[in-house]
Amino acid sequence: MTTYQPLNCDLHDFLEIACMHGYRLRVELLEGPSFVARALDTRTAPSKEEFLVLQGDAGRQEIRLDRLLAITPQDAGASFGRIELAGNYCGF
Protein backbone atom coordinates (compact mmCIF):
# COMPACT_ATOMS: atom_id res chain seq x y z
CA MET A 1 0.00 0.00 0.00
CA THR A 2 1.12 3.58 -0.55
CA THR A 3 2.40 6.00 2.09
CA TYR A 4 -0.46 7.17 4.29
CA GLN A 5 -1.77 10.71 3.69
CA PRO A 6 -3.62 12.07 6.79
CA LEU A 7 -7.13 13.32 6.09
CA ASN A 8 -7.85 17.04 6.49
CA CYS A 9 -8.82 17.55 10.14
CA ASP A 10 -12.08 19.35 9.24
CA LEU A 11 -13.36 16.20 7.50
CA HIS A 12 -12.83 14.07 10.60
CA ASP A 13 -15.91 15.74 12.09
CA PHE A 14 -18.14 14.13 9.47
CA LEU A 15 -16.68 10.69 10.19
CA GLU A 16 -17.15 11.19 13.93
CA ILE A 17 -20.77 12.32 13.43
CA ALA A 18 -21.44 9.27 11.24
CA CYS A 19 -20.01 6.97 13.91
CA MET A 20 -21.74 8.73 16.80
CA HIS A 21 -25.14 8.32 15.09
CA GLY A 22 -24.36 4.91 13.59
CA TYR A 23 -25.23 6.14 10.10
CA ARG A 24 -25.47 3.71 7.24
CA LEU A 25 -23.06 5.11 4.67
CA ARG A 26 -22.59 4.60 0.96
CA VAL A 27 -18.82 4.28 0.92
CA GLU A 28 -17.06 5.13 -2.34
CA LEU A 29 -13.45 4.00 -2.61
CA LEU A 30 -10.67 5.35 -4.79
CA GLU A 31 -10.30 1.81 -6.12
CA GLY A 32 -13.04 -0.78 -6.08
CA PRO A 33 -16.81 -0.84 -5.91
CA SER A 34 -18.91 1.27 -3.57
CA PHE A 35 -20.88 -0.43 -0.80
CA VAL A 36 -23.22 0.38 2.09
CA ALA A 37 -22.18 -0.25 5.69
CA ARG A 38 -22.85 1.13 9.18
CA ALA A 39 -20.22 3.50 10.61
CA LEU A 40 -18.99 2.19 13.96
CA ASP A 41 -15.79 3.98 14.91
CA THR A 42 -12.49 5.43 13.77
CA ARG A 43 -9.16 3.93 14.75
CA THR A 44 -5.55 5.09 14.66
CA ALA A 45 -2.89 2.41 14.25
CA PRO A 46 0.50 2.63 15.99
CA SER A 47 1.89 3.61 12.55
CA LYS A 48 -0.43 6.70 12.70
CA GLU A 49 -2.59 5.42 9.83
CA GLU A 50 -6.27 6.17 10.44
CA PHE A 51 -9.18 3.88 9.63
CA LEU A 52 -12.97 4.02 9.45
CA VAL A 53 -14.47 0.94 11.12
CA LEU A 54 -17.64 -0.30 9.39
CA GLN A 55 -20.15 -3.13 9.75
CA GLY A 56 -21.74 -4.35 6.54
CA ASP A 57 -22.87 -7.46 4.69
CA ALA A 58 -19.22 -8.52 4.41
CA GLY A 59 -18.82 -8.26 8.19
CA ARG A 60 -16.68 -5.81 10.12
CA GLN A 61 -14.01 -4.05 8.09
CA GLU A 62 -11.58 -1.18 8.38
CA ILE A 63 -10.92 1.19 5.49
CA ARG A 64 -7.84 3.40 5.58
CA LEU A 65 -9.07 7.00 5.38
CA ASP A 66 -6.91 7.97 2.41
CA ARG A 67 -8.54 5.15 0.37
CA LEU A 68 -11.97 6.81 0.69
CA LEU A 69 -13.33 8.81 -2.24
CA ALA A 70 -16.60 9.87 -0.55
CA ILE A 71 -19.20 8.96 2.05
CA THR A 72 -22.96 9.54 1.77
CA PRO A 73 -25.35 8.90 4.67
CA GLN A 74 -28.29 6.69 3.70
CA ASP A 75 -30.35 7.51 6.81
CA ALA A 76 -33.30 9.91 6.58
CA GLY A 77 -32.60 13.09 8.53
CA ALA A 78 -28.80 12.72 8.44
CA SER A 79 -27.02 15.93 9.38
CA PHE A 80 -24.90 16.02 6.21
CA GLY A 81 -24.99 14.82 2.62
CA ARG A 82 -22.30 13.42 0.35
CA ILE A 83 -18.81 14.36 1.52
CA GLU A 84 -15.84 14.04 -0.83
CA LEU A 85 -12.74 12.97 1.05
CA ALA A 86 -10.23 12.18 -1.70
CA GLY A 87 -7.51 14.77 -2.13
CA ASN A 88 -8.43 16.58 1.10
CA TYR A 89 -5.32 15.81 3.10
CA CYS A 90 -3.61 17.72 5.91
CA GLY A 91 -0.96 20.12 4.76
CA PHE A 92 1.84 18.90 7.03
Domain segments of the chain as ranges: 9-84
* Residue type at 28 in one-letter notation: E
- Cα–Cα distance between 58 and 34 in angstroms, integer? 13
According to the model, what pLDDT value does residue 76 have?
95
CATH topology of domain 9-84: SH3 type barrels. (2.30.30)
pLDDT digits 0-9 by tens, 37-91:
999 999 999 999 999 999 999 899 999 999 999 999 999 999 999 999 987 766 5
